[in-house]
Amino acid sequence: MTDAPIIEMHGISKQFGQVQANDSVDFTLQRGEIHAIVGENGAGKSTLMKTLYGLYQANAGEIFVNGKRAAIASPRHAMRLGLGMVQQHFTLIPVFTALQNIVLAKEPRTFGVILDYREAEKKITELAMQLGFDVPLNTPVESLPIGTQQHTEILKVLYHGADILIMDEPTAVLAPQEVEGLFNCLRTLKSEGTSLIIITHKLDEVMAIADTVTVMRRGQVVNTCPITDTDSAMLAEMMLGEPVIPSAVTREQSVNATPMLCMENVTLSKSSNIGSGHRWRNVLSNRETGKRLLNEVSLAVFPGEIVGIAGVEGNGQTELVEVLTGLRQIDSGTLTLNGERVAHIPADRHRHGISLNDRIDDNFIIRRHKMRRYCRHGILQRKSIQRAALNAMDKYQIRIGDVSDRIKVLSGGNQQKVVVARELEMNPEVIIAAHPTRGLDIHAAEFVHTRLIHARNRGKAVLLVSSELDELLHLSDRIAVMYDGKIVGIVKPTETDKQELGALMLGLHEAKLETAPATRTLAGENNDH
């Protein structure tokens, strides 16, 4: 590592409406280092990196790359300067092969005209072997495991010449074994002179992989230091501006024997339609068409319990939530819901949780806009809507400029908190929560955890889908692990660990399926409630 920085950002300021996302921020990246950026939701870390990558233009400040001032106008310009970014939501084209995705916009040509993938495939294969990746280059990306898709993204930015790699929440969808594999890859890249920036909320991972860490709070840098000069507790305190004191939440046991949500032998094929009008119960003839996305899934969730769903992304968790929320029609099996009020915290807030171009307060009343409290004689009651939204913003500690602002000006974490606030404020009987704390900071995640446990203690049924094993182990009464569309094990948090869960998630072995309480309770009962 040399003393000459490869990236220098001086006095970077960026404002969205009334929100000051970055306020005179300085940031330096040394050549051949792994530099982590941490901070609360809305701290400005993603905005800073999107400015570096050309997705945003700063209102003030300067950027230097390799000592030369650079006005980075677009991601294409950033790539020409040697920057590459692997975003949390991958940008691959599903029907293209891994090779086609990697060379896209830099296709190899013979005589400048004829496409010739041989030389590129040879170069990419050598690079993959060097990094320890096993990527089937001629397989469509949609058929690849999520970890292999991430490897494809990394190969893509490196093939396009990046020697500065920005990664946004790189471990969000990986099993524990895949996280270690990714870290080995990052260490290899570092040893070869690549400089890496990681945006993450996982402080234990920061301590494991970073050389340097920058802490941001409220749009400003509060500290940058070598990783050897800090620890997780100190980082958390710097992020929040106060010591972190975990709240104690008492769990109360429920003995209710009637499930609020019950699935028996539910099957869903790849050819099944989305949005077919299916609601909570369907018993249909089996259609053996297409790949089974859900393969005879049986599961029950009882009042007063949290059932966690673990699995590497792409193994049926998304489809499970879609059939439970009426977005897909099952092929066969039985699906039963008891209870009228259902909360749904979706995994993809942009597609299913919010309307980006609408006001913050209007987003808060989605699905409730016809309630008498908010609408009379077809006219929205603005004062009542704003009052309810402001109360929720304060209760859930959501940083906003004005409730009339478009929700797209908020950070991703604050957008997520709006969704969580809206759904939990409905006093639901059943809560279907898909990655409810993805992108949330320590305080916000703990707040959501507390709310879910309180809901459980009040007799609510909670189905929690999460890629965070710590979250599942902390919150769940039972954990069902999904692999290839099946539930391959149901375990109790007190009787398992991350390694066993990781092995189940990767299909390395199957655990004994728990027969109690779900199957025993349902045996001989009529589920047509």
Q: Are strands 430-434 and 261-269 parallel, antiparallel or unpaired?
A: unpaired
Q: How far apart are CA 189 and CA 445, in angstroms?
A: 32
- All residues at 6 or more sequence positions from 385 whose CB lies less than 8 Å from its CB, including other chains: 361, 362, 364, 365, 374
Does 524 score more than 60 pLDDT? no
**pLDDT of amino acid 523:** 31
Query: Residue 278 has which token pair?
Result: 């299916």
Structural Rg of the chain based on CA atoms: 24
Check residue 480 and give its pLDDT: 96
Which tens digits make up the pLDDT trace of 341-388? 889 999 878 878 899 899 999 999 888 888 888 888 888 888 999 998
The more confident residue out of 59 and 439 is 59
Calpha distance 432→410 (Å, rounded): 24
222 vs 253, higher pLDDT: 222
Question: What is the percent of the chain where pLDDT is above 90?
Answer: 43
Pair of tokens at residue 319: 């489809």
pLDDT in tens, 207-222: 999 999 999 998 999 9
Distance CA 20, CA 471 (A): 31
Q: For strand 83-86 and strand 164-168, is the pairing parallel, antiparallel, or unpaired?
A: parallel
Provide φ and ψ at 291, rounded to 5°: -70, 145
Q: Which residue's structure tokens are 């005179």? A: 24
Reduce the DSSP state of residue 362 to 3 states and report it: helix
Task: Determine the average pLDDT of the residues in 178-184.
Answer: 84
pLDDT tens-place string over residues 393-421: 888 878 787 888 889 888 777 888 899 88
Confirm if 22 and 58 have CB atoms less than 8 A apart. yes
| 128 φ, ψ (degrees, to nearest 5) | -65, -45
For residues 131 and 129, what is the distance between their CA atoms, to the nearest angstrom? 5
What pLDDT digit, counting tens, does each position of 55-112 carry? 999 999 999 999 999 999 999 999 999 999 988 777 899 899 999 999 987 777 766 6
End-to-end, the C-alpha distance of the chain in Å comes to 66
pLDDT of residue 350: 81
Q: Residue 115: beta bridge partners?
A: 109
Whether pLDDT at 1 is above 80: no
Which of helix, strand or coil describes residue 401? coil
| Phi and psi, residue 241, nearest 5° | 80, 10
Residue among 344, 341, 391 at smallest CA distance from 371: 341
Element (H, E) at 311: none
Complete domains list, the chain, with CATH: 5-240 (3.40.50.300), 261-341+427-522 (3.40.50.300)
What single DSSP character describes residue 75?
H
Q: What is the residue-wise DSSP string for 223-291?
A: EEEEGGG--HHHHHHHHHTS---PPP---------S-SEEEEEEEEETTPPBSS---S---------S-
Q: What is the pTM of this model?
A: 0.69
Q: Virtual CA dihedral for 394, 397, 402, 404, nearest 10 degrees?
A: -80
DSSP 201: S
Q: Is the dihedral of CA 379, 382, 383, 386 positive or negative?
A: positive
SS3 assignment, position 35? strand
Chain segment 264-277, per-residue pLDDT in tens: 999 998 755 554 43
523, with CB counted inside 10 A (0-12, 13-18, 19+), is: exposed
Strand pairing report for 34-39 and 83-86: unpaired
Q: Measuring CA to CA, which residue among 492, 484, 486 is closest to residue 514?
A: 492
In three-state form (DSSP H/G/I as H, E/B as E, the rest C), the secondary structure along 158-176 is: HHCCCCEEEEECCCCCCCH
Axis crossing angle, helix 176-191 with helix 146-159, rounded to the nearest 10: 10
Tens of pLDDT along 139-161? Answer: 998 888 777 888 899 999 989 88
The 3-class secondary structure across 418-434, one letter per residue, is HHHHHHHCCCCCEEEEE
Q: How confident is the model at residue 309 (pLDDT cuts 50, 70, 90)?
A: very high
Confidence class of residue 247 from pLDDT cuts 50, 70 and 90?
A: low
Contacts for 253 with CB less than 8 Å, ≥ 6 apart: 304
Alpha-helix runs per DSSP H in 271-348: 317-324
Residue 70: name the closest of 86, 51, 87, 84 by CA.
Answer: 51
459-505 pLDDT, tens digit each: 999 999 998 888 999 999 999 999 999 999 999 999 998 888 988 98
Q: What's the mean pLDDT when you consider all of the chain?
A: 84
Is the confidence at residue 18, as pLDDT, over 60? yes
pLDDT of the residue at 174: 72
